[in-house]
Amino acid sequence: MSVINASASQHAPERIISISGAPYDGYAFEQMLASLSRIGATHVEPAFIVGYTEPFGEDTFTQANAIQYARWLQEAGIDCFAFSSHIDLGREDALQVFRGRMDFARRIGARVINTNASARATGERFYQNIAGLARHAEELDMWIGLENPGDGSDNLLNIASDAQGLLKRVNHPRVALNYDAGNTVSHRPVLDATQDALDALPACLYTHIKDVSKQSDGYFFSDLGQGTVDCGKILQNIAHTPLCLSIEMPLRLHRLPSAQPSRHPEPVPIETIEAALSKALRFVDLHLKHVTH
């Protein structure tokens, strides 16, 4: 299935590999950028996700803040291509809230904004809202990446096979998937998350690379290639596509056996974050070059 003929990735001069802001949960934006510069990263995917990152309000997404964030990015020599700001797009206020986040993301350079779709119970309102949001994405020259959740709830987009009907009904070239196999591990534990990611690839405009280790007391995010997901195999398949991607390692977070998120009281030490991300960058580079036929 080919949902879009030209993804956001194809408008980039080469494949962009971003680092999600998730592992830097608890650090100031400028601290994160300085750290990313030290490890040789070129792009960041800022993460503003209620319950998964530091608390924030909609007053975060002002034009003045966007100007400041853009200045910090420029000074650090880091670019922003993708932006994570997940909400349930079936909410009554989703059209207004998500438009504001889209405007902010575009002002700091993002071309892709990632979010969840909607709880199945509010599905009809999702389809109303996404129509307006897709038009706004077109006006901003952005793409909306719908991401499969990891919390075990019933969503319009639980697994790859949900995508065809969902995207057919949305019917807009600015909306496709941002698939995350690391979420599938906790969201639908009986599923082969690696194969589901491969099934989802044709419908993706972006993707997250994340690994998870399932333990008796929950789900813990691990080094790439050390958990349940065969990240190497996914990357080798991505290598045949123009997809851009983010490495997402929310090291401060784990999921309870119920799949609900739980944040550690303290941020992860910067040295630990940098060591893990440096290793992940090498892993991604290695497997994108190791193309299978």
The pLDDT value recorded for residue 293 is 54
Main-chain dihedrals φ then ψ at residue 69, nearest 5 degrees: -65, -40
The pLDDT value recorded for residue 7 is 43
- Whole-angstrom Cα distance, residue 206 to residue 178? 5
Task: Give the count of domains, the chain.
Answer: 1
Per residue in 159-182, pLDDT (tens digit) is: 999 999 999 999 999 999 999 999
Q: ∠ CA 282-13-111 to the nearest 5 degrees?
A: 90
- Whole-angstrom Cα distance, residue 275 to residue 235? 21
Question: Average pLDDT by consecutive 10-residue portion of the chain (293 residues)?
Answer: 38 80 96 98 95 89 97 98 97 97 98 98 97 98 98 97 98 98 97 98 98 96 97 97 97 96 96 98 95 59
Domain-located, residue 2: no
Inter-residue contact 160 to 196 (CB < 8 Å) = yes
Domain-located, residue 3: no
Range of the domain at 216: 8-289
**pTM confidence score:** 0.94
Q: Which residues pair with 232 in a beta bridge?
A: none
Residues 6+ apart with CB under 8 A from 83: 45, 46, 48, 101, 105, 108, 110, 112, 113, 114
Domain-located, residue 1: no
The pLDDT value recorded for residue 4 is 33
Domain-located, residue 185: yes
Domain-located, residue 230: yes
Domain-located, residue 116: yes
The pLDDT value recorded for residue 2 is 33
The pLDDT value recorded for residue 291 is 65
Main-chain dihedrals φ then ψ at residue 196, nearest 5 degrees: -65, -35
Inter-residue contact 244 to 8 (CB < 8 Å) = yes
Domain-located, residue 41: yes
CATH number, residue 254: 3.20.20.150
